[in-house]
């Protein structure tokens, strides 16, 4: 490959020399001095070059305006794209990186060798405003043709938890720590391979005269099934050599402590967030890493894993995915003309068997709807937009069989996201030293919703959300695995799942230097569930409860968890269990967005009477 590029360049140079010689013979009386080609360019040449560059820029702008930036999926499509000149330069840059890292060597094809194919994958990087940052061309291996035990063995590589990112940014906001984003260029090319792998020459860059030869890989490349593990092992080894210690709760979180100075690195493949309270130490460490990795300092984080990160003057953060929502809205033809909605789902709406297609014509019509693509795109939006978690969980149950009404419900979620795309998740803790962890847990009972092909009728929907100070860290909306005989049992299962999440977060906070001094409060609106978590009563209504759920009692007895009753009106986890009334949904959503997550301090009966709560617990207590 490199020989081909160099030979091509040498040929051009030789042709230029021959032209110069001919020109010298025609102008025998000219001086024998070297002449700068730039000085011989006429005004017409410069004018034509400017016209060519301007025409190309106009072509690119037209492509963006007419249909957005459409990244070509194949090299054949790239050749016809308005971005081809820039994409071709990106291809050469990628091949230069292969030569720089000594990734492969060209060898005759060994008899009987399994040769993995290669292809080009293109991308056009944009910022949060949609401006083009750079063009990328990635040469990837077609890993599906690898053979286990021959080309690869282990493939597992850890990825970061997004809730760890939210927790780390909340910690940085409270302690006014510096946050920067780093990117490793051509990350996989750094890691050595243990297995012997042969790949085909890249399309469009086959060396003349050696068409039947193949490349033997010395380093990993994108697309190989064992490449992520090779890169993960290599990167973690580099961090360990610099003195970083791996977290026991999140394998992608590494911490370096030197006296009172601390550096946290949270990485996802080749993107990293570096949080530190000592900029000098951070620069020294990252410079040392930069000698072994092709690091690029991108400054304060702006766009990380599709999430726009904005830091305010007071040190707090705002997280949003407006850019991603607008992208999927364009894909599914949602724009300003679409009717806005105030909630992602209709109150008390339940899908029935009548909503599924019955006739051949109805099945054909449903099959033409991009339901799976739409729901799959919406799932990633939940990493910030917690307010659509329950509605999306409801429609996602029909990924195997769906009808027109299910597609309309998914479109409604997208319309809601588009009409509220300016909403952002605020990480602005009020406390500066001791960040207190808290949670809300809730569940339905006798949920009559049913998934086609799954025996889940009357299996309840549960949900929880956890907070550090007033910052939302994690949430879940999911169907329970077993049926509950009472509302207390359903709530007990939900509280147990929430408690597991809380214990994990407590351990992670301790690793980050923020241990919890007292028990973590889980707000629960079922008094029977609270009582059962403390007492060992066992009778006909409780003796059948799954033994795994009794771990909640252990957490309560050990002092890690404390269940506290909260009025149903203030149960923030209620929005993760059912389609709420419009005013209830908006109130709960805005409280979480605004950081108003601590229940009022009024006595329960006074507060419940003031809000006209009609829950059973409050009715029995005389509120």
- Averaged pLDDT for residues 78-97: 92
- Give dist(CA 188, CA 267) in Å, integer: 14
Lowest-confidence segment of 62-66, 164-168, 479-483 by average pLDDT: 62-66
User: Are 579 and 442 within one domain?
Assistant: yes
pTM for the predicted model, two decimal places: 0.81
- Averaged pLDDT for residues 141-151: 90
CB 582 within 8 A of CB 342: yes
Q: Structure tokens of 88?
A: 């071709």
Q: Which residue has the higher pLDDT, 474 or 46?
A: 474
- Give dist(CA 226, CA 165) in Å, integer: 26
Residue after which a domain boundary falls, among 366, 395, 419: 419
User: Are 415 and 442 within one domain?
Assistant: no
User: Are 491 and 538 within one domain?
Assistant: yes
Place of tokens 């040449």: 45
Q: Which residue has the higher pLDDT, 458 or 290?
A: 290
CB 68 within 8 A of CB 74: no
- Residue 542's pLDDT is 61
Q: Which residue has the higher pLDDT, 183 or 42?
A: 183
Q: How confident is the model at residue 456 (pLDDT cuts 50, 70, 90)?
A: confident
* pLDDT of 313 strictly over 60: yes
- Give dist(CA 99, CA 145) in Å, integer: 24
Question: Would residue 201 count as lying in a domain?
Answer: no
| Model pLDDT for residues 108-138, shown as the tens digit of each residue | 999 989 999 999 999 998 876 778 888 999 9
User: Are 442 and 381 within one domain?
Assistant: no
| Model pLDDT for residues 42-76, shown as the tens digit of each residue | 767 666 667 666 655 555 544 444 446 788 999 99
Residue after which a domain boundary falls, among 375, 393, 419: 419
Q: Who's near 357: CB < 8 A, 6+ residues apart?
A: 363, 365, 366, 401, 403, 404
User: Are 399 and 491 within one domain?
Assistant: no
User: Are 329 and 402 within one domain?
Assistant: yes
User: Are 514 and 587 within one domain?
Assistant: yes
- Give dist(CA 531, CA 242) in Å, integer: 50
Question: Would residue 76 count as lying in a domain?
Answer: no
Phi, psi of 256 (to 5 degrees): -120, 125
Radius of gyration of the chain (CA): 30
User: Are 415 and 455 within one domain?
Assistant: no
Question: Would residue 614 count as lying in a domain?
Answer: yes
- Averaged pLDDT for residues 68-96: 90
- Residue 595's pLDDT is 86
User: Are 454 and 552 within one domain?
Assistant: yes
- Residue 2's pLDDT is 40
Q: How confident is the model at residue 513 (pLDDT cuts 50, 70, 90)?
A: very high
- Residue 450's pLDDT is 76
User: Are 391 and 443 within one domain?
Assistant: no
Q: What is the mean pLDDT of the chain?
A: 85
- Give dist(CA 597, CA 570) in Å, integer: 9
* pLDDT of 618 strictly over 90: no
- Averaged pLDDT for residues 193-199: 92
- Give dist(CA 93, CA 87) in Å, integer: 10
- Residue 170's pLDDT is 95
SS3 percent helix, strand, coil of the chain, rounded to 5, is 40, 20, 40
- Sequential DSSP letters for 382-413: TTT-GGGHHHHHHHGGGSSS--HHHHHHHHHH
* pLDDT of 591 strictly over 70: yes
Q: Structure tokens of 194?
A: 């243990």
Q: How confident is the model at residue 322 (pLDDT cuts 50, 70, 90)?
A: very high
Q: Which residue has the higher pLDDT, 613 or 101?
A: 101
CB 404 within 8 A of CB 366: yes
Domain that holds residue 378: 322-419
User: Are 454 and 556 within one domain?
Assistant: yes
Q: What is the CATH number of the domain that holds 527?
A: 3.30.420.10
* pLDDT of 421 strictly over 60: yes
CB 58 within 8 A of CB 51: no
Question: Would residue 458 count as lying in a domain?
Answer: yes
Q: What SS3 class is residue 143?
A: helix
- Sequential DSSP letters for 453-480: TS--TTPPEEEEEEEETTEEEEEEEEE-
Residue after which a domain boundary falls, among 387, 419, 451: 419
Q: Who's near 114: CB < 8 A, 6+ residues apart?
A: 145, 146, 147, 150, 151, 198
* pLDDT of 26 strictly over 90: no
- Averaged pLDDT for residues 93-122: 94
Question: Would residue 260 count as lying in a domain?
Answer: no
Q: Structure tokens of 154?
A: 């282990």
- Split into its structural domains, the chain has a count of 2
Lowest-confidence segment of 382-396, 428-442, 443-457, 595-609 by average pLDDT: 595-609
Question: Would residue 329 count as lying in a domain?
Answer: yes
- Give dist(CA 526, CA 517) in Å, integer: 26
Q: Who's near 59: CB < 8 A, 6+ residues apart?
A: 82
For residue 567, give the nearest of 617, 495, 494, 602 by alpha carbon.
Answer: 617
Lowest-confidence segment of 309-318, 477-486, 544-553 by average pLDDT: 544-553
User: Are 448 and 398 within one domain?
Assistant: no
Question: Would residue 36 count as lying in a domain?
Answer: no
* pLDDT of 6 strictly over 90: no
Question: Would residue 302 count as lying in a domain?
Answer: no
* pLDDT of 240 strictly over 90: yes
């Amino acid at each position: 490959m490199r020989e081909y590029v160099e030979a091509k360049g040498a040929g051009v140079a030789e042709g230029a020399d021959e032209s110069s010689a001919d020109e010298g013979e025609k102008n025998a009386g000219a001086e024998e001095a070297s002449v700068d080609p730039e000085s011989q360019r006429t005004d017409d040449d410069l004018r034509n070059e400017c016209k060519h560059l301007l025409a190309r820029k106009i072509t690119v702008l037209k492509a963006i305006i007419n249909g957005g930036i459409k990244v070509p999926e194949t090299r054949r499509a790239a050749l016809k794209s308005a971005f081809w000149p820039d994409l071709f330069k990106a291809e050469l840059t990628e091949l230069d990186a292969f030569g720089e890292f000594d990734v492969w060597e060209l060898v005759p094809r060994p008899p009987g060798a399994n040769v993995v194919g290669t292809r080009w994958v293109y991308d056009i990087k944009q910022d949060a405003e949609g401006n083009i940052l750079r063009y990328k061309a990635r040469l990837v291996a077609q890993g599906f043709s690898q053979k286990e035990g021959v080309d690869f063995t282990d493939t597992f590589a850890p990825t970061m938890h997004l809730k760890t990112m939210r927790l780390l940014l909340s910690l940085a906001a409270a302690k006014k720590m510096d946050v920067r984003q780093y990117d490793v260029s051509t990350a996989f090319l750094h890691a050595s391979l243990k297995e012997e792998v042969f790949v085909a020459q890249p399309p469009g860059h086959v060396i003349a005269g050696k068409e039947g030869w193949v490349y033997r890989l010395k380093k990993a490349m994108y697309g190989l099934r064992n490449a992520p593990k090779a890169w993960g092992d290599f990167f973690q080894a580099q961090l360990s050599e610099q003195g970083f210690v791996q977290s026991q709760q999140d394998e992608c979180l590494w911490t370096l402590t030197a006296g009172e100075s601390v550096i946290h690195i949270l990485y996802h493949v080749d993107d990293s967030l570096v949080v530190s309270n000592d900029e000098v130490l951070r620069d020294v460490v990252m410079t040392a890493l930069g000698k072994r990795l092709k690091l690029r300092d991108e400054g304060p984080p702006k766009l990380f894993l599709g999430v726009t990160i904005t830091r305010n003057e007071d040190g707090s953060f705002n997280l949003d995915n407006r850019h991603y929502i607008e992208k999927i809205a364009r894909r599914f033809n949602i724009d300003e003309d679409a009717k806005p909605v105030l909630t992602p789902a209709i109150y008390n709406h339940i899908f029935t068997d009548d909503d599924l297609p019955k006739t051949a014509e109805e099945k054909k019509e449903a099959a033409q709807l991009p339901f799976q693509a739409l729901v799959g795109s919406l799932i990633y939006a939940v990493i910030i937009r917690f307010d659509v978690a329950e509605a999306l969980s409801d429609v996602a149950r029909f990924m195997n069989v769906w009808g027109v009404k299910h597609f309309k419900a998914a479109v409604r979620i997208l319309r809601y996201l588009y009409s509220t795309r300016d909403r952002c998740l605020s990480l602005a803790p009020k406390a500066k030293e001791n960040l207190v962890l808290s949670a809300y847990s809730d569940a339905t009972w006798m949920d009559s919703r049913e998934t086609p092909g799954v025996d889940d009728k009357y299996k309840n929907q549960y949900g929880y959300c956890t907070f550090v100070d007033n910052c939302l860290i994690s949430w879940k909306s999911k169907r329970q695995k077993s049926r509950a005989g009472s509302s207390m049992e359903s709530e007990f299962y939900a509280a147990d799942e929430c408690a597991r999440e809380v214990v994990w977060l407590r351990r992670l906070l301790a690793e980050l230097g923020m241990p919890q001094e007292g028990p973590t409060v889980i707000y629960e609106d079922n008094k029977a569930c609270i009582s059962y978590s403390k007492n060992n009563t066992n009778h006909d209504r409780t003796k059948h409860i799954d033994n795994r759920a009794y771990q909640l009692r252990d957490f309560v007895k050990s002092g890690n968890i404390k269940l506290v009753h909260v009025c149903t009106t203030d149960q923030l986890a209620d929005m993760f269990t059912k389609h709420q009334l419009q005013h209830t949904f908006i109130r709960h959503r805005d409280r979480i967005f605004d950081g108003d997550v601590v229940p009022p301090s009024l006595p329960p009966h006074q507060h419940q009477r003031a809000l006209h709560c009609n829950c059973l617990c409050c009715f029995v207590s005389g509120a």
